[in-house]
Structure 1
Amino acid sequence: MELEMERKVLNKKISTYLKAIAIVMMVFHHFFAFPDRLLQEDLYTTWNLGGGKPFEQLIGEMCKLCVCIFAFISGYGTYISFKKYERFRERIIYCLKKIFKLVGMYWIALLCFFLPLLALFQKVTFSQVVSNVLLGSNSMMHVAWYVRFYIIALLVLCLYSALENRKSSWIFDVVMCFIVPIALDVLIPGNEISHYYPIFMLGYIFSKYNLYERYESFIKSNIARSAASIVVLLGLLVLRLKIGDMICHVSMITFIGPVFCYVLAFVLKWIAKCRWIEKILLFLAQYSIWYWFLHAIFHEGILPIQKIGYLPHNIFLIVIWVFIILTPVAVLLQYIYKACLKCIEVVFIKNIKINK
């Protein structure tokens, strides 16, 4: 299974690099794509282009593809894991472990970081804490919606895999990828599931049918393949600017995502040959989930904290600064998370011995 993964275009190493780039894009997106979230003017030096939106806002909006990258590579890797766990019961256990890991990290970030800071500046009620812990609300951490999405998307894909084993067909894949989310969006407009589930499912499909590998076997030349991919990507980006974010209830990032991931993977394969760049990418990827949660604190409606995030004023230095100040927190929370897992493991083993 490991050998098969390494033969994939999006192998384990490339997927790790993509996570690192995605988290950098996410920070840029949340810090500069939403000027209305700023609690004070002049928090940073804007780059005006002589009309229209400023440079940093345009780049920030393009960086919306960050969630798309995470969703796509999650779906891509899920198929490979499902091949390893052929029984439905094994797949359920695998999915529950993945969910428990993400939810556990979310709880640690919420209770050990967000709750103390928010309580210093705002009134936080017990019911609000309970609602956020149970993922019924994301009022304390606005990025927590993805945790809900991931739980639902992974379980739906797990249930679908049981049906897929009985009668595998690309028609079923298309229905699951587009028809179901479209129907859901018609019934519940603007829901987060129908917006990102297609790209999650598309990652699963690309892995299942080896679409990247087939593309590379069809166009042998690296230069021609890269040029064609960039042309398609630019065409899709222009199309998005022309028609907007949605087309027939399907987000444009669904179509842009796979092409963008492929182009980015090709670029990263060469850039990461530089040892120090690879080390930075691996480090960012290692703590990417923590960075995802933690950076949201700068846009939870607390001016003193927001000022700290925008302290350097230069848009690029702000992004670097955010990672610098959040890294010690991420490392500490990772330590707490592992300590909690160790305690749970000790208690669990102890209970087993008592029962025996």
Structure 2
Amino acid sequence: MELTKQQIKITKGIAILFMLLLYLFCTKNYQDLYTPILFIKGIPLVYYLALFGDCCVAIYCFCSGYGLLISYKKDRECYFKNNLIRIGKLYINYWIILIIFVVILGPLLGKANSYPGSLKDFILTFTGIDPAYNGAWWFFTTYIFLVLSSSIINKAIIKHNSLLVIVISFGFYIISYIQRIKGILVFENWMFSWIVRQVALWGTSQFPFIIGAVFLKENIYSKIYNISYKLKYKNLLGVFTIIVMIIAHGIIETLFVAVFTGVIFICAFNIIDKPKWVNNLLDYLGNHSTNMWLIHMFFYMIYFKDLVYGAKYSVLIFVWLLVLCIASSYVVNFVYKLIIKLINNLNLKNINYVNSN
């Protein structure tokens, strides 16, 4: 019983909810932002829920590694070509959001000096080499590198012992994490600095990505599911596991453990039997997850901070940001479909022209 395509999408829906929680409420300086309702020793309860949300990137990387190995096994010959198409479609999505929220909204809202700002910033962002404007866009470049390097990763995973691959990956994760957080290597040269930063970001992301692929190769989730399926209180066990992780992460407040909490959460969450409406809701959010990732920071931090936090209470703030992001996502999807339709029509005309000659 491996993870299905729908389960992967639902899990990505959870990841985006965690991301919103993380960015909205993972701060102890809440006085000027919102009014907490519940506290634990003077700290808002929502802070600990938001802190647990730092596993959002790890969850997304796990799902990507898992899904891309499935694609690799199905069609190795077209795998690289399909990945280029996947990246191309992501770029179209990204450019639409860049134009709407930076090129159009920036000047309209009186922030043209920064949005779009200099030509250099715009070009580096447009190409995805070094995105500016939105702090959450760092993962755009990292994700592209993960996808482009996934052929090599998948070959290594299939060919070599899984434990050996995990150990090597974890070692690189530790080195990358130290560089990312501590900044041991510092260069004044922009190119060297960029390379080191991208290697560190890729290094911290490749570990959950590889774990996802190894899970598929070794049928690890199936084994966990088969064991849990025999348990009378498997739903209770799954919920209990998640609660324990939230408490443990509240005690150990370090991003280093996000990979482990993310992977355990994926297993615990997916073995829980959920109402159909919950699965449908998360599946719906999964459809909008990419746009929400690329959009949300423009609302809660850059342009409309007072509007978002004006809801006052954490639940209302969270729902309000969710509504704003989804509404924007529909606009982006509308433009995206028009562009894809135009591209398809142009390709069809070219094919017809070649055939006629």
Task: Compute the TM-score of the two structures, normalised by the length of structure 2.
Answer: 0.82
Residue pairs, 1:277-288, within 5 angstroms: 277-288=278-289
Alpha-carbon spacing, 1:176–1:213, altered in 2? closer, same or farther (3 Å): same
Q: What is aligned with 2:220?
A: 211
**Which of 47, 52, 59 is 2:49 aligned to?**
59
Distance 1:284 1:91 in 2: 27
Q: What is aligned with 2:327?
A: 328
| 1:312-342, Cα deviation, whole Å (9 max, x unpaired) | 2121111111222333321111011111122
Residue pairs, 1:4-19, within 5 angstroms: 7-8=1-2, 10-19=3-12
- Secondary structure of 1:222's aligned partner: coil
Which amino acid counterpart does residue 59 of structure 1 have in structure 2?
A: L
CA RMSD in angstroms, aligned pairs only? 2.8
Distance 1:90 1:223 in 2: 44
| Unaligned stretches of 5+ residues in structure 2 | 183-199
Alpha-carbon spacing, 1:233–1:60, altered in 2? closer, same or farther (3 Å): closer
Q: How many pairs were matched up?
A: 333
Q: What is aligned with 1:90?
A: 78
| 1:112-166, Cα deviation, whole Å (9 max, x unpaired) | 233322233321222221121122333212111111111112222212223455x
Task: Compute the TM-score of the two structures, normalised by the length of structure 1.
Answer: 0.82
* Conservation of the 8 A alpha-carbon contact between 2:154 and 2:213: no
* Conservation of the 8 A alpha-carbon contact between 1:229 and 1:259: no
- Secondary structure of 2:274's aligned partner: helix
Which amino acid counterpart does residue 53 of structure 2 have in structure 1?
A: C
Q: What is aligned with 1:255?
A: 260
Higher mean Cα deviation, 344-353 or 108-117?
A: 344-353
| 1:266-306, Cα deviation, whole Å (9 max, x unpaired) | 33x3222x4xx44432322211211121111024444xx11
Distance 2:27 2:201 in 1: 18
| Unaligned stretches of 5+ residues in structure 1 | 1-6
Q: What is aligned with 1:3?
A: none
Residue 270 (str. 1) matches residue 274 (str. 2): yes
* Conservation of the 8 A alpha-carbon contact between 1:114 and 1:141: no
1:260: how far off? 0.6
1:77: how far off? 1.3
**Which of 146, 169, 190 is 2:161 aligned to?**
169
Alpha-carbon spacing, 1:219–1:338, altered in 2? closer, same or farther (3 Å): closer
1:95: how far off? 1.8
Distance 1:301 1:186 in 2: 29
1:187: how far off? 6.0
Identity across the alignment (%): 22
Higher mean Cα deviation, 55-64 or 199-208?
A: 55-64
Which amino acid counterpart does residue 110 of structure 1 have in structure 2?
A: L
